[in-house]
Structure 1
Amino acid sequence: MSAIIEVKELRKEFKSYSSRSGLKGAFRDLFTRNYKVLAAVKDISFQVNEGEMVGYIGENGAGKSTSIKMLTGILTPTSGEIIVNGMNPHKEREKFVKTIGVVFGQRSQLWWDIAVQESFRLLKKVYHVSDEDYKEHMDHVIETLDIGHLLDKPVRKLSLGQRMRCELAAALIHKPTLLFLDEPTIGLDVLVKMKIRRFLKEMNEKYKTTILLTTHDLTDIEALCERVVMLDEGSIIYDGSLKQLRANWVEGKQIQFEFTRTVNSEELSNMSVGHTVAWAKGERENVWIASVEDDEKVISDLISKIVSHYQIRDLHIKETSTEEIIRNIYEEGIHHG
């Protein structure tokens, strides 16, 4: 499988100037400035293969936006190497931008006062897309994103959800092989989010579009990405599968049983012989919670034993959310490597 993004020892430093105090200090600042060098991205390396959908996550100030700006050619790296779609994004900018699509949740690529379809036509000219290619590709995109009825409206008249769907369509006019999405579902309602996720999945399956997704909404990551790259203070602290991340950090599962009659802990302990199960009384009457290891066989064995001996009113398996896991990682700190 070929690598679409290759990043080696990528670093970005910024100079932070500080002013000296007093009139004398201000005068000295005219000739020499005091500054500190701050590294926003610290020698990171990773690669993304064709057709992958990768979640690029981290807290504010972790270096996500800075590295995305370098990957899209907006910023020049201080040191290190970037090859995206076989090109250096900064040096071959004009040729490079024709191969990528970018959607920034906070920034628009549509013209504010003209109708959406006029923006689309302008972008079609910018990217030299033929009428035939445009019609074949964009008819499908417009239909799937359900924006046909919005094409005659000026962008300023659209709701946030409508605008984001149009932004996504605009980023795909030239059929890019690689899509950078920065907070694409920020502030959107659940139905619009689901529509956008479904569409991105379809684009990935149909055209093998590679997607790098930056978001604070971890349900986006869970719905779309099998792999996550996690940054903290400019360094990569985890690069691997979402499944593995969960396995490493989740110690077990909790199964909540609601019985139709009163049962005691002794009875339940006898039921779970052969497995390490910790039983705890629930808050409601006749509710008991079993903490077990995260193993499908152990879980199904325990459930079938309990269900065959007792009448159950309700049963619930509690999953630890990705959000909880990632919050724990940042709170406890994770060792590099």
Structure 2
Amino acid sequence: MIEAELLSKTYRVADKQPGMAGTLRHFVRRRHRDVPAVSGVSFAIAPGEMVGFLGPNGAGKTTTLKMLTGLIHPTAGTVRVVGHDPKRRQAAFLHQITLVMGQKQQLIWDLPPLDSFRVNAAVYGLTPPEARRRISELADMLELGEELTRPVRKLSLGQRMKAELLAALLHRPAVLFLDEPTLGLDVNAQARVRDFLADYNRRTGATVLLTSHYMGDITALCERVLLIHQGRLFYDGRLEGLSERLAPYRLVRLELTVPQPAAAFTGHGEVESLQGNQVCLRVPAAQLTGSVAQLLERFAVVDLEVSDPPIEQIIGGLFERGRVDDSPA
């Protein structure tokens, strides 16, 4: 459904020095420099896949999405989405994709969402009965009711985001490009949007490429992730594989009958946190079995839990290094 081969985008920007002198010099003799935003990115996404696209601010995620949707043209490389060249912006292509950006809106601010939906339906050539049926179906999935008839400006951020999703999916696109769809939403609203996207993917088989700064979005929806840093793709694989390859330690959480000082755990692992009779230790994976046995033998343990480190911590370390290897994250 999506194929990118050595996709690159370079922007030519003015190179102006600060101050009045710099302004005058730039007026007389303009200088420019090339700034690479995306460099040689290649990947392929199969029909029905939900793929997370992760990277720090300025890494090139949104630029890549805009090239995949034809909003900007690549400097080099090739891209095909549902068999089309996006930069040609053909009607047959536009009918099969949608782009949702959490910081942008397409709904008309002073009108109810229902009016915007009717405009979208007319743009995509839907008959009034078909439009009503699709609006009703999506509204049920998104748990939207009376919000459809209230002005957009009177809706909460979560309600607006759900209405934005309905507007973007009215024409039943085969490919969804979602750029921060839960940006600014509270925890409950984020969960509802995630549930809807998972349900929509199951029902329609739509292909989804999702960017988000909330790791909860990625872990809940995507088995595969693409990691980009400074415009270059440096990981394409399973999310679960990152934890397995890059976490050489485990977190051991203990609840003790009697509180203990941090020094009591010397030799059993590194103390991550200690509060009353609750302690969390970082234990090397190779020593896990022996350390747990020693802890159970030495202390009166009420409860014990072993877990992997948070995926946010692992990926944060990857972005700092800009590569994937077998060293600690």
| TM-score with structure 1 setting the length | 0.84
Q: Gaps (5+ residues) in structure 2?
A: none
Alpha carbons 2:54, 2:226 under 8 Å: kept: yes
Which among 298, 301, 314 is matched to residue 303 of structure 2? Answer: 314
Partner of 1:49: 46
Spell out the pairing of 1:121-160 with structure 2 (5 A cutoff).
121-160=118-157
SS of residue matched to 2:274: coil
Alpha carbons 2:249, 2:285 under 8 Å: kept: yes
CA separation in 1, counterparts of 2:259 and 2:154? 60
CA separation in 1, counterparts of 2:2 and 2:92? 16
Q: Structure 1 residues 19 and 317 mapped into 2: Cα distance closer, same or farther (>3 Å)? A: same
Alpha carbons 1:6, 1:82 under 8 Å: kept: yes
- When the two chains are superposed, the root-mean-square deviation of aligned CA atoms in Å is 3.0
The code of the aligned residue for 2:193 comes to: I
Which among 313, 317, 320 is matched to residue 328 of structure 1? Answer: 317
Partner of 1:259: 256
CA positional deviation for 1:285: 5.8
CA positional deviation for 1:147: 1.3
Q: Structure 1 residues 65 and 284 mapped into 2: Cα distance closer, same or farther (>3 Å)? A: closer
Partner of 1:274: none
Q: Gaps (5+ residues) in structure 1?
A: 270-276
Which among 235, 258, 278 is matched to residue 268 of structure 2? Answer: 278
The code of the aligned residue for 2:313 comes to: E
Identity of aligned residues (%): 36
Partner of 2:243: 246
Q: Structure 1 residues 289 and 170 mapped into 2: Cα distance closer, same or farther (>3 Å)? A: closer
Deviation digits for residues 189-214 of structure 1, max 9, x if unmatched? Answer: 11111111001000111111111111
CA separation in 1, counterparts of 2:75 and 2:279? 57
Alpha carbons 1:279, 1:288 under 8 Å: kept: no
Alpha carbons 2:16, 2:22 under 8 Å: kept: no
Alpha carbons 2:268, 2:291 under 8 Å: kept: no
Partner of 2:70: 73
Alpha carbons 1:12, 1:77 under 8 Å: kept: yes
Q: Structure 1 residues 293 and 204 mapped into 2: Cα distance closer, same or farther (>3 Å)? A: farther
SS of residue matched to 2:88: coil
The code of the aligned residue for 2:73 comes to: T
CA separation in 2, counterparts of 1:262 and 1:58? 41
Which among 93, 100, 103 is matched to residue 103 of structure 1? Answer: 100
Alpha carbons 2:283, 2:291 under 8 Å: kept: no
Task: Tell which structure's C-alpha radius of gyration is larger.
Answer: 1
CA positional deviation for 1:146: 1.3
